[in-house]
Amino acid sequence: MRREKLNDRFSELSAILEPGRPVKTEKSAILGDAIRILNQLKAESQDYAETNKRLLEEINNLKAEKNELREEKIMLKADKERLEQQLKTVSVPPTGFVPAHPPVYQAEANKVPIIPSYGFIPMWHYLPPSTRDTSQDHELRPPAA
């Protein structure tokens, strides 16, 4: 009875180790196959553990890089706000300041009149972006020849 149970267990082990092949009856061959497969599984397990360790290191590196990029983004936003504030303070005339009417100079035949007070104030940021876009000029406006 005990011997039959042991033989049944060995035949089950042989069927599990190599499904689709005929069941081996030699116990030493079955044990050798079991040892070989266990060693393969152990090696695979170690490979997976090493891969997992490398991936965790990569995740930590990417998280650190993401945090650095966030800090840099915050610094750039602060710089942008500071520069915009400086631009606003520079371009806004002081209160109570009324500029005198500049003298209009006589323009020559093909020249535009020069008004000195408009020379230093950038006006491009008051234009809408669609007006400033020049990428479609060659299609929308023919060349003036």
| 86 inside domain | yes
**Domain count for the chain:** 1
| 54 inside domain | yes
Task: Give residue-wise pLDDT tens across range 114-145.
Answer: 555 555 555 656 677 777 677 777 777 777 76
**The domain spanning residue 79 has which CATH number?**
4.10.280
Number of Cβ atoms within 10 Å of the Cβ of 120:
7
Rounded CA-CA distance 105/100 in Å is 15
| 53 inside domain | yes
H helices within 1-145, ranges in order?
2-17, 27-91, 129-132, 137-140
| 58 inside domain | yes
Which residue range(s) make up the domain with 85? 1-91
**In angstroms, what CA-CA distances link 145 with 141, 142?**
12, 9
| 24 inside domain | yes
pTM of structure: 0.47
Task: Give residue-wise pLDDT tens across range 89-117.
Answer: 877 665 666 666 666 555 554 555 555 55
Task: Give residue-wise pLDDT tens across range 6-27.
Answer: 888 988 888 888 887 887 878 8
